[in-house]
């Protein structure tokens, strides 16, 4: 009888490669780990043997939410096991479930149910990131930082990254562009003061001070994403209607200086991008004007 292939629809090739191909009886902990556990089973591991994932994409854990989870754990236990990998020093490194571990410790649990997997450092990040993205646990900036870290530390392309996290390349690009925002704007996204739609609208502004000025308007006036986009279009239109200032070419600067010395008066030259302009000769009185005109006629 032929074996059926495990379906990984919706999770992307990266996740299936990480989780889908281990035989049910394969031992996945290191030779020095406390025990040898099969991946198809859930085991209980001591909470004090769990170490955090240094690449954990999630940075913020709300205390109120943790307390609620801890209270639930006290009453019902942990329904969904965490996922870890064994280490050579007999500990377990978290792949996913740090929030559950924190809440379990608050609840006073000594052991916690866990799946134990084999995973490289790259796979560790991928699994943690993919799980959080699929559950929508991360804010857009945390996702962007995690995606950028994968690119920087493991030298993978945006196309490869998009495939691993089961997103289109345009979605990955939109997340990464958020990192161009000022720190204040990024914090506003993390704190849910503005949405990712607001943030994406602000990305088109290069000046960070201007970003923050509009951010304050969004918060103060409770502007929608569409209102922000309309505001930016009006600002762009006003900016494009302003005359473009052109610096005076070198030869005209020399001419201005020479005329000023020869005529012994202040000279101004106006010049635009089309090459048109005006020459302004300043005089102090009628006598000074006649003097200047006399000099010009002689030359």
* Residues designated as active site: 98
Question: How far apart are the C-alpha atoms of 100 and 96, rounded to whole Å?
Answer: 9
Distance of CA 269 to the CA centre of its chain: 47
C-beta of residue 286 within 8 angstroms of C-beta of residue 293: no
Q: Return the HEC string of 42-93.
A: CEEEEHHHEECCCCCCCCCCCHHHHHHHHHHHHHHCCCCCEEEEECCCCCEE
Phi, psi (degrees; rounded to nearest 5) at 198: -60, -45
Question: How far apart are the C-alpha atoms of 295 and 261, rounded to whole Å?
Answer: 12
Beta bridge partners of 45: 112
**Helical H runs in the chain?**
12-19, 63-76, 98-106, 121-135, 140-154, 158-164, 169-177, 183-190, 196-202, 208-221, 225-241, 250-263, 286-298
């Amino acid at each position: 009888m032929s074996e059926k292939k495990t379906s990984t629809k919706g999770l992307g090739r990266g996740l299936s490669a990480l989780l889908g191909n281990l035989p049910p009886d394969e031992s996945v902990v290191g030779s020095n780990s406390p025990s040898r556990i099969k991946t198809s089973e859930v085991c209980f591991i001591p909470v004090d043997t769990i170490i955090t994932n240094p690449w954990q994409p999630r940075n913020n854990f709300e205390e109120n939410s943790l307390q609620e989870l801890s209270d639930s754990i006290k009453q019902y236990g942990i329904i969904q096991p965490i996922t870890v990998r064994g280490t050579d020093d007999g500990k377990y490194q978290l792949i996913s479930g740090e929030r559950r571990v924190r809440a379990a410790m608050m609840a006073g649990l000594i052991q916690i149910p866990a799946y134990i997997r084999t995973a490289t450092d790259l796979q560790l990040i991928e699994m943690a990131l993919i799980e959080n993205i699929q559950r929508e646990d991360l804010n857009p900036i945390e996702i962007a930082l995690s995606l950028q870290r994968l690119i920087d530390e493991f030298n993978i392309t945006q196309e490869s990254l998009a495939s691993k996290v089961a997103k289109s390349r345009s979605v990955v690009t939109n997340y990464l562009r958020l990192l161009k925002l000022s720190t204040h704007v990024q914090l506003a996204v993390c704190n849910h003061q503005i949405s990712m739609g607001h943030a994406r609208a602000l990305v088109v502004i290069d000046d960070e001070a201007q970003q923050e000025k509009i951010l304050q308007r969004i918060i103060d006036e409770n502007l929608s994403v569409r209102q922000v986009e309309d505001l930016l279009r009006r600002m762009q239109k006003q900016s494009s209607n302003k005359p473009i200032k052109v610096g005076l070419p070198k030869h005209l600067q020399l001419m201005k200086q020479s005329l000023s010395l020869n005529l012994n008066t202040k000279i101004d030259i106006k010049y635009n991008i089309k090459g048109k302009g005006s020459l302004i000769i300043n005089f102090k009185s009628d006598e000074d004007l006649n003097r200047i005109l006399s000099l010009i006629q002689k030359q």
